[in-house]
Amino acid sequence: MLSGLCFIGGQWQADTEVTFNAINAAEHTKLAPDFTNCSSEQLEQACLLAEQAFVTYRKKTVQQRSDFLNEIAEQLVKVETLLVERTPLETGLPQARIQGELGRTVNQLRLFANNIIKDASIIAHDTAMPDRAPMPRPDMKLSQLPLGPVAVFGASNFPLAFSTAGGDTASALAAGCPVIFKSHSAHPGTCEIVAKAIEIAIDNCAMPKGVFALIHSKAYEISHSLVKNPKIKAVGFTGSYRVGMALQESIYQRKEPIPFYGELGAVNPQLLLPGLISEKADSVAQEFVASMNMGCGQFCTNPGLWLVSEAEKATFESVLVDKIQSSPAQVMLTPAMLNAYQSGCENISKEATLVAKGQEQDKKATTHLFVTSADAFINNAKLHDEVFGPASLIVTYKDLDQAAQLIDILGGQLTASVHGSTDVINENEDLIEALSYKVGRLIFNQMPTGVEVSDAMMHGGPFPSSTDVRSTSVGSQAINRFLRPICYQNSAM
């Protein structure tokens, strides 16, 4: 049974009578139970307990932290049935997707658990040189320290992998930082199920009670109070540009600046080099439509912008139309997102030409494909906006010089893909190099959807795709966001 309560200091509690409900994504009806908004007093308590827990948790050995992460993973496996029952109701995502995402979440935890065991505590060591002239050199060791309590915000589109025990939480706990997790109001029941698994892991591993807290709230002031709280030392966020920038503004008001790791989305341009469509139009079109429809287009790496040679536009459109028109309507994560998607498509239709759209059904999203020219795109900022959902915009370029102009005006992106033959790719190194400076991950002859959790993954990019171009929110390097370097000079440790 779900309680609808916040989890603070090892206790499930409520301090207000103000509540909200999750919404059935398919039926647009309220789901039980009522979830209680976190009060200002509860928030302060959670931050205080996290600060106190930090003193204990940071002294745990890497083996103890590793065991803790592995125990969370084990407990998550045990609640798979509960998640498969609840999460599809709150998100509209199919059971198979939830099972797959749970596996990814478990694997993320185990990846960090394994890595912190094998990583050396000393990054670099300059041995003393007492006889060096004209000045001796002291012994210096470079290591890392955890930052302190971290605020993590759940993402709507990944209710497990970017949520309660997702990548931000896993990397922060691995680093030695307590976590205060702000649930996403679209799937609070899912968040509670996962938080209860973490609760068991805390008890089984004898971790301090304040090492993890779950707070619910639909009140914006709670989110802003959380990032302003002086006990919070870093923030992990995945969501919209508007909300991310609002949180960033609140952080700017702090006396002590802290890092804000915001992943804010992208249009993820697909550069189709000349000759590709002539050679294999149908297979490329099939891959693109499948990618743009995956998860109802609700991936932050959804291919929302396709750069296509003007000479090959007609051929490409001819094979795309049937594939777009046969695309089934899909349930979106929330009614609000569906409304925003429909408004976004309506806005683009005023600026670009509709090529084709998919099947229509009440309370579901319809796939849309639009087209415009490079000149129109360059001169119309309205065409640059991301439409979160199964919609994409083809922009036709006259030649590769104009393609370079399009790349030049793009904002920062999470990903971009280059599609073409090996010879054509090799002939356009300058164009591809320019594109590399716009993205965090540059892909060749593959679609961007599908983010691998691995050592080499980079999920981030230049602003506005993320707020810190130097960091990733996915993969083993994500732990570095919540660590800071420290040099020990003449230390016997």
Question: Where in the sequence numbering do the catalytic residues fall?
Answer: 263, 300
Please list, in sequence order, all residues whose beta carbon lies within 8 angstroms of the beta carbon of residue 439, skipping any fewer than 6 positions away: 412, 413, 414, 415, 416, 461, 462, 465
CA atoms within a 13 Å half-sphere pointing along the CA-CB vector of 304: 28
The alpha-carbon radius of gyration of the chain (Å, integer) is: 24
Residue 237 phi, psi dihedral angles, 5° rounding: -140, 135
β-strand partners of 393:
305, 370
CA angle (161, 266, 348) in 5-degree steps? 125
Peptide bond into 464 cis (omega under 30): yes
CA dist 132 and 43 (Å) reads: 55
CA dist 328 and 166 (Å) reads: 30
CA dist 229 and 15 (Å) reads: 19
**Can you point out the beta strands (E) in 226-326?**
234-238, 260-263, 269-272, 305-309
CA angle (364, 368, 372) in 5-degree steps? 160
Would you say the C-alpha torsion 223, 298, 172, 252 has a positive or negative sign?
Answer: negative
Residue 229 phi, psi dihedral angles, 5° rounding: -60, 125
Helix (H, G, I), strand (E, B) or coil at 438: coil
User: What is the phi-psi region of residue 196: left when phi exceeds 0, alpha when psi lies from -120 to 50, beta otherwise?
Assistant: alpha
Say if strands 353-357 and 260-263 run parallel, antiparallel, or are unpaired. Answer: unpaired
Q: Choose among 25, 105, 58, 98: nearest CA to 336.
A: 25
**Can you point out the beta strands (E) in 84-138?**
124-126
Q: State the DSSP string of 306-366.
A: EEEEGGGHHHHHHHHHHHHHTPPPB--S-HHHHHHHHHHHHHHHTTSEEEEE----TTSBP
β-strand partners of 144:
485
